[in-house]
Amino acid sequence: MENKKITFPEGFLWGAAISAHQTEGNNINSNWWAWEHSERRASELRSQGRNPAEYVSGQACDFYHRYESDFDLLTKLNMNAFRLSIEWARLEPQQGWFDRDEVEHYRRVLEALKKRGIKTFVTLHHFTLPQWFAERGGFTRKANIPLFLNYVRLAAEEFSPLVDFWVTINEPEIYGSHSYILGRFPPQRKSHWLTFVAVNTLIACHNQAYPILKKYNNVPVGLAYHLVDLVPTSIYSRFTRDVMHYITNRYVLRRTIRRCDYIGVNYYGHSHVGVWGRKIRHKTHHMLTDLDWAIHPDGLERVLLDLRKYHKPLYITENGLADAGDIKRERFIHDHLLYTHRAIEQGADVRGYLHWSLMDNFEWAHGFSPRFGLVAVDYPTQARTIRPSALSYAEICKTNTLTV
């Protein structure tokens, strides 16, 4: 049978995403750095039979110094968009003092993208905090909101002309649950109340950042939501599914959507929901990533269709997999794009796809072992090697078409 080509809308953005702490290296004034080096974290890892040295971000991908050559990779791979974060802990290492050298650093980074004609998605908060802000209670104290807004104001003033899309906050749902309930992110608290407060503070931060960002430059402002495709296991679990859908996919969205010019979709997969809550049955009937996450491209179509009712442009701000052998990535990208295209045909206004990630990087509490990169990184030498799947993605980026 002859291959068919399907074309994406004109002007579709094709690219990849990273975050600062995961790639730059030496983010020494952040709460993550403090946590990675804490005795509490080290003894937790030792008790799990792990080597704590493998769970510190260290120099990561040394992206802080290598951004020019890493951006050459974007060009080589035909990408026209890139998502990255700026690091509040670098820009304001002490409360009330903005480091001008770091402001200039990020200006150079963003200019380097502009020089290559690449559209920029700039995230303001991607999981990490300045340590001083964390010590003041971080986002669990509403009184701290103005401190975040000072940083937003600086970013807006300094970088607006170089930004094409602001992403205020990455995945408030994940930040809240991982930091305050599941114990996977610092400060590893286990309190439903603190989770609730942190998520609501982030919602307020987004809503109050919006007019500040719009004042300096009328570029689209949005948020990157973590959206999960939840599937009921039977008709009896539909109600539970709907409740969980509201908590995981709607609570933050509904409270921020009026102050979003677009919706950022971070999609990694799906979960089954039984009558009493989430049931992970995927081990038996799904393809899995190296982190055992179920690969479910059709779920992306459902997630995108479900967002049509908000009548906002949609950008896939993250989608990817841990696949050290690069065995599943090409198919993964192909299938997720196929379902994205199906959603577009049914009226979802999807305008871009940013693969997570450009290169292997520090995967938070999992350390360096998961390999999410289109480009492999050999950490001791910092050598970059383009994986075969990246070349097939590059062809899609170049032609704006997918062969099916």
Shortest Cβ 192–ligand FCB spacing (Å): 21
Q: Identify which of residues 220 and 373 has a Cβ nearer to ligand FCB in the complex.
A: 373
Q: What would the DSSP string read from start to end of 383-404?
A: EEEE-HHHHHHHHHHHHTEEE-
Query: Running DSSP on this structure, what letter comes out for residue 130?
Result: B
* Residues from 141 through 170 that contact ligand FCB (CB under 6 A): 170
* Residues from 260 through 319 that contact ligand FCB (CB under 6 A): 266, 318
Query: Helix, strand or coil for residue 368?
Result: coil
Shortest Cβ 239–ligand FCB spacing (Å): 27
Identified binder of ligand FCB from the candidate list 32, 159, 364, 393, rule CB under 6 A: 364
Tokens of 344: 């577009």
How many residues does the structure list for the chain? 404
Identified binder of ligand FCB from the candidate list 19, 31, 140, 168, rule CB under 6 A: 19
- The 223-242 site mask, x for binding ligand FCB (CB under 6 A), equals ---x----------------
* Residues from 308 through 327 that contact ligand FCB (CB under 6 A): 318
Widest Cα–Cα separation across the chain: 64
Q: Cβ atoms within 10 A of the Cβ of 212, count?
A: 18
Identified binder of ligand FCB from the candidate list 174, 213, 348, 394, rule CB under 6 A: 174
Q: Cβ atoms within 10 A of the Cβ of 227, count?
A: 27
Write down the catalytic residue from 92, 171, 173, 318. 318
Residues in binding contact with ligand FCB, number by CB under 6 A: 12
Q: Identify which of residues 200 and 266 has a Cβ nearer to ligand FCB in the complex.
A: 266
Identified binder of ligand FCB from the candidate list 24, 70, 171, 360, rule CB under 6 A: 171
Q: Cβ atoms within 10 A of the Cβ of 327, count?
A: 12
Backbone angles phi and psi of 152, in degrees to 5: -60, -40
Shortest Cβ 70–ligand FCB spacing (Å): 17
User: Residue 330 catalytic?
Assistant: no
Q: Are strands 270-274 and 229-232 parallel, antiparallel or unpaired?
A: parallel
Q: How far apart are the first and last CA of the chain?
A: 11
Task: Identify whether the C-beta of residue 359 lies closer than 8 Å to the C-beta of residue 326.
Answer: no
Residue 365 touches ligand FCB, criterion: CB under 6 A: no
Positions annotated as catalytic residues are 318
Binding site for ligand FCB (CB under 6 A): 19, 22, 170-171, 174, 226, 266, 318, 356, 363-364, 372
